C-alpha cells in the first residue's frame, strides 16, 4: 500500500494516500459493480408496522398518537418519520463496507440554514440523532429517495422527478470529487455560507434564499420568548403552557435541573461553560418536536442572566441510532487499520448492549459532519438515558420544500447532495468512495433506480399504517 510517510525515525502510523484509496475504490467495482446498487428487493419477513410499534414502546405513551398523526399527514411526512424502516430494509444489501461517519437520516428536510458563531448564515445538515459510523451508500439512498418522494408529493411528472433525483445523486458524486481536490484541513474549514443577493443560483432560487434568510431573523430565542413566555414579578422568565406541545414537567425533573445543568456545563467548551456560570435556570417545559422524534423526551430550558436577559436551550433525548438498532451495523469505527483510528472515532458508533452515552455520540457526530456547529453543544446522562443540549432557535430556518417550484427545488436538492458530500469528505474513506463512484453517471443512475423502487415501498408502508390506524390497531389523538 502506498503510504504518506516522512523522515521521522520511528513509525508514527502512516496513512494511505488518496491515490491509493481511490485505486482501492475503483478496484472494488470488480466485486460490487456500481450498477448493483440499482436493485431493491423486499425481504419476505419485513414487518414495517412491527418496527413502528417497537419504536413506540420507548416513547412517552401519551405522545405516540401525535407521532402517528404527523407521520400520516402525507407520504413525505411518513418517510421523514420512518428512518428505522429504511435502514432495516438496507440491512444486508449491497455496500462497499467502506465506513464513514454518516448522518443516518439524510433526507432533504434535514438540511437548513442556521447562524454560525461568527453570525454568518450557513446551509448544512441539521439533524444528527441517527448519526453513527456506517455505510456511506445508506446516506445517499436516504437522500435521493427523499427527493423522489418529495417530487412525487409535489405532483412533478415522472420525467421531472427523475431529473431532480439525478441532480441530487450527481451533486453528491461531483461534490465529493471537488472536496477531495482540497487538502484535509481546507475540507474541514469549507462551509456553505449563504448571503442575501449573492449565490451561484438563478434569480428565482435567489429570491427564495433571500426570503428564507429574512424569515430566519425571527427564529431567535428572544423572538420565541416574546411569544411563549411571561415575566414574573421578580423579573424571571416563565413559559406559558400550550398543551400538548409545551407542558411543564414533573417536580422530580425540576429538582434535578441544577445538577444536570452542571454536568452539561462540564461537557461544553470552557468558554461556554464560563458564560453559562452567569445564568440561572428559571423554567423548564417538555416540548414535542418533529415527526420521527415525537414521543422522545425533549425539553426547553430557560436561563436568566444578570440583567434579566434570557437564554433558551433545548435538551433532547438521544436514543440508540436506528442505523445500529435496526440496520444491524455494529462496525468498529475503523476501516483502514488499528493505527488509523487512534481513538478518533471512540465516541461514534453504537454497540449492542453498550452503556455508551448516545448524547455524546450525537454531539461528536455533529461536530464532525457540520462545517460549523452550535457552540453550546453538550450532553449528559439521566435515568439511564442520554441527552444532548443545544441552543433553541439560533436563526435556524428550513426551506419550505412544498412551496419550491421545479427550478428552485432542483437547486435545493443539488445543494443537499453537495453538503452531504462535504460531510462524508471528513472521513478517511472519502477517497475510496470517490474512486468507486468515478466520473460517469453509472452510480447516479443506479441510485435513482433504487430510490424510485424504494419510494414505491415507502408508499405501501404509508398505506399499511393508515389502514392499521383505521382498523384501530394504532391510536390517533382524540378530539378535544
What are the tens digits of pLDDT across the range 208-224? Answer: 989 999 888 888 877 87
pLDDT at 353 over 70: no
In 16-157, where does DSSP find H-type helix? Answer: 18-28, 48-57, 64-71, 75-80, 83-90, 136-153
What are the tens digits of pLDDT across the range 292-343? Answer: 566 578 899 989 899 888 899 999 999 899 999 999 887 655 333 333 433 4
In 217-342, where does DSSP find H-type helix? Answer: 221-228, 251-254, 257-267, 270-276, 322-325, 338-341
- Domain ranges (residues) in the chain: 21-93+107-209+402-475, 220-319+356-394
For residue 102, the cross-strand partners are 132
Burial of 20 from C-beta contacts in 10 A (0-12 / 13-18 / 19+):
middle
Q: What is the mean pLDDT of the chain?
A: 88
For residue 231, the cross-strand partners are 237
What are the tens digits of pLDDT across the range 244-296? Answer: 788 888 888 888 888 999 999 999 999 999 999 999 998 889 887 766 566 57
Q: pTM of the entire structure?
A: 0.91
Amino acid at each position: 500500500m502506498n503510504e504518506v510517510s516522512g523522515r521521522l525515525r520511528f513509525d508514527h502510523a502512516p496513512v494511505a494516500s488518496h491515490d491509493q484509496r481511490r485505486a482501492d475504490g475503483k478496484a472494488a467495482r470488480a466485486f460490487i459493480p456500481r450498477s448493483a446498487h440499482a436493485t431493491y428487493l423486499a425481504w419476505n419477513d419485513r414487518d414495517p408496522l412491527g418496527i413502528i410499534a417497537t419504536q413506540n414502546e420507548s416513547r412517552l405513551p401519551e405522545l405516540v398518537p401525535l407521532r402517528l398523526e404527523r407521520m400520516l399527514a402525507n407520504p413525505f411526512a411518513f418517510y421523514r418519520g420512518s428512518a428505522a424502516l429504511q435502514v432495516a430494509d438496507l440491512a444486508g444489501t449491497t455496500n462497499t463496507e467502506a465506513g464513514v461517519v454518516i448522518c443516518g437520516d439524510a433526507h432533504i428536510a434535514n438540511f437548513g440554514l442556521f447562524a454560525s458563531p461568527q453570525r454568518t448564515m450557513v446551509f448544512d445538515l441539521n439533524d444528527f440523532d441517527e448519526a453513527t459510523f456506517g455505510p456511506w451508500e445508506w446516506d445517499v439512498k436516504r437522500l435521493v429517495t427523499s427527493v423522489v418522494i418529495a417530487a412525487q408529493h409535489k405532483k412533478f411528472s415522472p420525467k421531472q422527478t427523475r431529473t431532480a433525483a439525478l441532480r441530487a445523486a450527481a451533486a453528491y458524486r461531483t461534490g465529493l470529487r471537488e472536496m477531495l481536490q482540497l487538502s484535509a484541513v481546507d475540507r474541514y474549514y469549507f462551509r456553505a455560507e449563504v448571503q442575501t443577493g449573492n449565490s451561484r443560483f438563478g434569480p428565482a432560487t435567489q429570491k427564495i434564499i433571500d426570503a428564507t434568510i429574512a424569515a430566519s431573523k425571527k427564529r431567535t430565542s428572544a423572538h420565541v420568548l416574546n411569544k411563549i413566555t411571561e415575566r414574573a414579578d421578580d423579573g424571571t422568565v416563565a413559559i406559558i403552557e400550550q398543551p400538548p406541545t409545551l407542558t411543564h414537567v414533573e417536580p422530580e425533573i425540576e429538582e434535578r435541573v441544577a445538577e444536570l445543568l452542571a454536568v452539561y456545563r462540564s461537557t461544553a467548551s470552557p468558554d461556554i461553560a464560563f458564560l453559562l456560570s452567569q445564568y440561572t435556570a428559571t423554567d423548564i417545559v417538555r416540548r414535542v418536536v418533529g415527526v420521527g422524534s415525537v414521543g422522545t423526551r425533549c425539553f426547553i430550558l430557560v436561563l436568566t442572566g444578570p440583567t434579566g436577559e434570557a437564554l433558551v436551550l433545548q435538551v433532547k433525548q438521544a436514543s440508540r441510532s436506528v442505523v445500529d438498532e435496526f440496520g444491524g451495523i455494529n462496525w468498529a469505527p475503523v476501516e483502514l487499520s488499528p493505527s488509523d483510528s487512534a481513538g478518533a472515532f471512540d465516541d461514534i458508533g453504537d454497540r449492542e448492549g453498550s452503556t455508551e452515552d448516545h448524547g455524546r455520540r450525537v454531539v461528536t457526530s455533529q461536530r464532525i459532519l457540520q462545517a460549523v456547529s452550535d457552540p453550546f453543544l453538550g450532553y449528559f446522562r439521566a435515568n439511564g438515558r442520554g441527552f444532548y443540549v443545544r441552543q433553541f432557535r439560533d436563526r435556524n430556518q428550513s426551506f419550505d420544500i412544498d412551496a419550491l417550484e421545479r427550478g428552485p427545488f432542483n437547486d435545493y436538492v443539488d445543494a443537499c447532495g453537495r453538503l452531504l458530500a462535504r460531510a462524508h469528505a471528513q472521513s478517511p474513506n472519502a477517497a475510496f468512495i470517490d474512486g468507486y463512484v468515478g466520473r460517469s453517471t453509472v452510480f447516479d443512475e443506479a441510485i435513482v433506480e433504487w430510490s424510485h423502487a424504494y419510494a414505491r415501498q415507502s408508499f405501501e408502508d404509508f398505506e399499511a399504517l393508515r389502514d392499521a390506524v383505521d382498523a384501530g390497531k394504532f391510536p390517533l389523538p382524540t378530539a378535544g
